[in-house]
Each structure stands twice: as structure tokens, then as C-alpha cells.
Chains A and B, each alone.
Chain A
Amino acid sequence: MEKFTVHTGLVAPLDRENVDTDAIIPKQFLKSIKRTGFGPHLFDAWRYIDVGQPGMDLTKRTLNPDFVLNRPQYRGASILLARKNFGCGSSREHAPWALQQGGFKAVVAPSFADIFFNNSFKNGFLPIALQESEVARLFDEAVGAPGYRLTIDLAAQTVTTPSGEAMHFDIDDFRKKSLLNGWDDIGLTLRNAAEIKAYEERRKRAEPWIFG
């Protein structure tokens, strides 16, 4: 997995609540059997005027000039700012894949849906929950200041604004270590193979029908 340590990047403010995974990456792109190729279709239905299909020639598509990520000042943005309950809906891991492949390293919002939140960590993509009032302030600042950048320091658990104000965020210790080190979860779990086997033997005796 890709490591995450410190990142400074341009902020794109997406002023919406309940951004769902269908919006992040629409269903027609889920037909892919690969882990890549989702970046150009991030927020496809909002980003383009025409309806997107897998494999289409991107140069022939019409961008929606009203969509915030299409504005020139947000080109190259790597930190997404959004409102509460970001990533609600389906379990598609294509959502964090699309965000990551669309150039984003992190998303800052007041809250996240559980499955999206969990999936993000598996890919080195960092979802950061800040207080609603802090996010509101970041929105005001980002919208008001072209080229607005934030610095995320995972080890310190801070988001720092251009004026030097550091906002603290909480993160589960295990997830933090995994991200900082780029650990492979499966490899870690398999270190406990003997314990898993012992557990399995106990269950086989107690509930043999599970193993039928």
C-alpha cells in the first residue's frame, strides 16, 4: 500500500453534504476488472455534460464549466474539502480508487460513511474528519483565497492552514501506523495464522454446521 506521511496540496471545495459513491464513480465504470483507469471518471456525471461510458474518447467530451473541480483555479488540487457524511452509499472501493487516481491524496469533511472511510485506508488515501465548524472555516478560506493550500501531517495528526493554524484530527492508532508505513494488512493478519487455525478448530467443535 502507498504510504502517507506529510502532504501539502491545493484544496478543492466541494460544497455538498451526503456525497454518495454513485456520484464519486458512477456504476457504468464498475464493470472494469482492473484497479486502475477510474481517475478520468471521478464525479463523471457532475464533471461532464454528456453521459460517460467506459472506454470513450475523453478529448471529445464536454466539461461542465459550473462544476467546481473543472474551474482552472482547482486544477491540480490534491485535497478535497466536502460536507458531512461523505462517501455514503455502496461499498465500491472504486470510489477511493477514483479519488486517488483523480489526483487526490486526502479528503477533509465533518464526517464519513463507514464503508467508504474504511476502504480509503486500505489504499493509502486519507479521510480526515474535522469539527463541522472547522470545515466551515476551511470552506470560507478556500473559496476566498485562490491557490489555497493545506498541509496534512499524519504523524502529528494535524491539518495546517496557510496562516499556520493547526487543526487536530483523530485517527485510530493501527490505521495511522499502517498508513505511515504502507503496511499490507493481509501480510500482518497472516502472522496470526496459528491463532486463526486454533479459533477455527474451536468453532468446528461448537458449530460444525458452519463448516459443512
Chain B
Amino acid sequence: MTAQTLYEKLWDSHLVREDPDGTALIYVDRHLVHEVTSPQAFEGLALHGRAPWRIGSVVATADHNVPTHARSEGIADPISRLQVETLDQNVVKFHVKTYFGMNDRRQGIVHVIGPEQGATLPGMTVVCGDSHTSTHGAFAALAFGIGTSEVEHVLATQCLLTKRLKTLLIRAEGKLPPGVTAKDLVLAIIGKIGTAGGTGHAIEFGGSAVRAQSMEGRMTICNMAIEAGARSGMVAVDETTIDYLRGRPLCPQGEMFDTAAAYWRTLVSDPGAKFDRVVDIDVASLKPQVTWGTSPEMVVSIEDRVPDPSKEADPARRGAIERALEYMGLEPNVAMSDIAIDKVFIGSCTNSRIEDLRAAAAVVKGQRVAKNVKLALVVPGSGLVKTQAEKEGLDRVFLDSGFEWRDPGCSMCLGMNDDKLAAGERCASTSNRNFEGRQGAGGRTHLVSPEMAAAAAIAGHFVDVRRGR
């Protein structure tokens, strides 16, 4: 048999039918649902008198709108509250069995709780009305974000109409230097290939630097595949994957687990498999990354300076830099380490897992948040992450340093709840998008790793986390 890539294996095993023009029906194994992109889909289903095809595939939670403090008081904003209540009602109406509502102790960001519960398994297709669904590809799943019409389509048919993607292998060989994380690696990848670099492709992240990552690190990398333009990112199965899954509530147990694991171990790209494109990333010289602009590709290392548009020959590119610098309130050629910050956000589906919190806590331990930092937030990705962190005393470390310790949700990654930047405020954020207004109208976002965000909180400006080590 010809050597296949991981993507090709996943595609073939989910193909229901394929027309001569390449239009295909792909079967969906897991459908993750949250409150923002589902109400119109459930409504459409009801309007057409259609029943869900396999409601057992749905795992639902409320994450985007939920408050991260005083949750027992409910949601103050009536519009946000209605959206969460609508999900509560749809769960009942359509008999969704697996629902982690706002007050469930297992509630959290959909891309954190899916893997945590074992709802995401290797060899699955995983979809969600959310672009960061690429996260689940860390488990050798074919996972991608869909729009609301497709949410309805999956509810009604358990399938998606789509076409085969091209394949892109991003190979990161070598060992990440100390203080350089999965987040820095993926930011550097986006900086190299651009925000449209993966458009039309499914990315497989490979190489020894990726293999050496924990599942948390792999999820961080796959999470941002969409920021490189690719709907799906994935990592092949190995023992790290299998060990993470064993014993998770929605994972097969006992003998069934062993049977499943034997199959899962085949979910790797075969030696000699052909990718449409291969990009190599130099890992040994990688440094902590900080974005300076309003697109994730606008990124440099902490040792660098804000770019100078006058040195850019391409007029479109020059205009984009000028506009970004104006929005970000930055002057050309300023050292990244001289940029002072107003707020810090440690959280989001990119970096809110236990390992992220441990890494950030290790940086801040015994130190105080700088006086110029108005707010430093830690928002765990799920109730279970929060509980685990508290068991380890991480909440005390953060609180003693002057951070706020909040309840799980998407929070300031996109500010659909009360956690936002005010106009002009500058934030060191572990999230995934630095678009204009993303964290609040007029807010200025710099994307960094949890370690870099923690170090910036203490210093009051961006600082090379490797220097404190």
C-alpha cells in the first residue's frame, strides 16, 4: 500500500461518499457545542422539523459569556444571560446527555474540557462552531472549526460537505532552549509562514521538538494552526497521547482501551508519505516571542525591536505596519523589552491548562506584580484545572503575588463577558489573537507564552524570561 499521511488516513476513514468533482461527505464523530454559535443552528433544526442525527456525539458547555467571578450571582448582562439560558434550554429540548453547564464543576473552555474528559480521541473527526477546534488535532484527530450553518448540518446529518485539503508538514527538529515554549514555537511558525500560510491545508506538526512536547504543549501548537490559516493542525499518536488518555471519563476503559490504543498507534504519517508542502523550523536558535502588531504574524523575539515601516519596500506591507503601529500606540525601533503594560491575562484555550499555570506560577513565586500593572488575571481553562491548581497551591502563589484568581471561561481572550481591556490599555496575553479590539474596543494585545506573561506582570514591561532563570 502507498505510504499515507496522518491526514489522509483520517480522511479515508471518515469518507462516507465522494463525488467525481471531489465534493465529499465526511462523518463527524464528536460535535462540541457552546452557547455562541449554536442557538441559530438549533433553531434552524426545529424550524425545519428535523431531529438530531446522533445527539450522543454532542458535548456541550457554556464558556464564552460566563463571568469569571461571583458566578453564583449569575450573569448580569441580560443578553449574555439569554444566550447561556438558550443553550440550557436546547440541551433539554434536544436531549443532549453530556452538558457541562455554567455551574458544573467540570465546566470550562470547550477546547480544554474536550480532551480533559476524554471526549476527544485519536482517529476522531471533531468539529465545533469555533475556529480553535484545531486544538483537538493534538490527539491525531481531524478537528476543525465550522460556522453555524454547518453546526446545523452536523446536528441534522452527522456529516459535513467538504473537500480534501492539501497537506503541510511543519517539521521542528531539535530541542527547545530553556525558557522557550510551545507557544513561542507556534508564534515563530506563524511569523515564518504568515497568517495565510496554511490556507487550504491541514498542517501536521512533526519533528523531535513537537514529539518532546506534553499533550498540553501539543494542544497549544495545534490551537494556533488557524492563526496560520489552517483549519486543522495535528500531531501523530505516540505514548504521550496514550498515557494522557488512559482513565479519562469518556475514554474507553479496560480491554476496550487496549483495543483502541492498538488502533490509535497506527495514526501516524507513514515513512515516505508525501506532503504537498514541507516547512522546516529552526528550533535551536528560537527565542521567546512577542507580537507587536494586530495580526499574529506580526511577531518578533523579545530581543528584537518594533519594526520600522520606512525600511519596508512593499507598499501594502508598509501600510499594514504603519496602521498596526498606530493602533498599537508604538513607535518604530523601540526595544520590545521597553514596552510597558497595563494588564496581564493568563488564560484562553491556548494557554490555560495546568501545565501553563504551573509554569507561570514558577515565574511569579515570591514576587509582586509591578505597580503600573492595573490588573493581572489568571483564568483556569476548566473547573478541574482550577481544582488541581488549588490542590498544588498555585492559587496562593498567584494571589500572594497580586494576581486575581478567577473561575473558568474564555474571559479576556475575546471579552464577551466583563473581562476586557479599556481603549488604549496594553496587555500581555497568553491568548491567540491580537486583532484590533479583540480584547476590548481600542485594547492593545501582545501575545506571549504564560512564562513571558508572568515575567511581564512582575517587571511591568516585557522582559526576557530567560534572564531570571
> Chain B residues near A196 (CB, 8 Å)?
16, 25, 27, 53, 157-159
User: How many A-B residue contacts, CB cutoff 8 Å?
Assistant: 189
With an 8 A cutoff between CB atoms, is A57 at the interface?
no
B-contacting 9-mer, from A63-71, A82-90, A159-167: A82-90
Known: A22-B433, A26-B437, A185-B153. A209 touches B56 (CB 8 A): no
A-contacting 9-mer, from B142-150, B206-214, B272-280, B340-348: B142-150
The number of chain A residues touching the other chain, given as a range, is 35 or more
User: B200 contacts A186, CB within 8 Å?
Assistant: no
User: B23 contacts A113, CB within 8 Å?
Assistant: no
- Residue-wise, chain B 61-104 has the 8 Å CB interface mask toward A (1 for contact) of 00011000000000001011011001000000000000000000
Which residue of the partner chain A has the closest CB to B87? A33
User: A33 contacts B80, CB within 8 Å?
Assistant: no
> Chain B residues near A210 (CB, 8 Å)?
29, 121, 124
> Chain B residues near A92 (CB, 8 Å)?
36-37, 147
With an 8 A cutoff between CB atoms, is B256 at the interface?
yes
How far does the alpha carbon of A30 sit from the alpha carbon of B129 in the complex, in Å?
12
Task: Give chain B interface residues in 114-147, CB to chain A under 8 Å.
Answer: 121, 123-124, 129-131, 133, 145-147
- Kindly identify which residue among A45, A54, A118 contacts B437, using a CB–CB cutoff of 8 Å: A45
How far does the alpha carbon of A26 sit from the alpha carbon of B441 in the complex, in Å?
9
How far does the alpha carbon of A54 sit from the alpha carbon of B64 in the complex, in Å?
16
Known: A26-B437, A185-B161, A192-B25. A17 touches B231 (CB 8 A): no
With an 8 A cutoff between CB atoms, is A51 at the interface?
yes
User: B415 contacts A27, CB within 8 Å?
Assistant: yes
Q: How far is the CB of A71 from chain B (nearest CB, A)?
A: 18
With an 8 A cutoff between CB atoms, is A55 at the interface?
yes
Known: A20-B435, A207-B260. A85 touches B196 (CB 8 A): yes
User: A209 contacts B25, CB within 8 Å?
Assistant: no
With an 8 A cutoff between CB atoms, is A59 at the interface?
no
> Chain A residues near B200 (CB, 8 Å)?
114
User: B129 contacts A35, CB within 8 Å?
Assistant: no
Which residue of the partner chain B has the closest CB to A95? B147
> Chain A residues near B56 (CB, 8 Å)?
211
User: B414 contacts A55, CB within 8 Å?
Assistant: no
User: B123 contacts A27, CB within 8 Å?
Assistant: no
User: B37 contacts A45, CB within 8 Å?
Assistant: no
User: A30 contacts B36, CB within 8 Å?
Assistant: yes
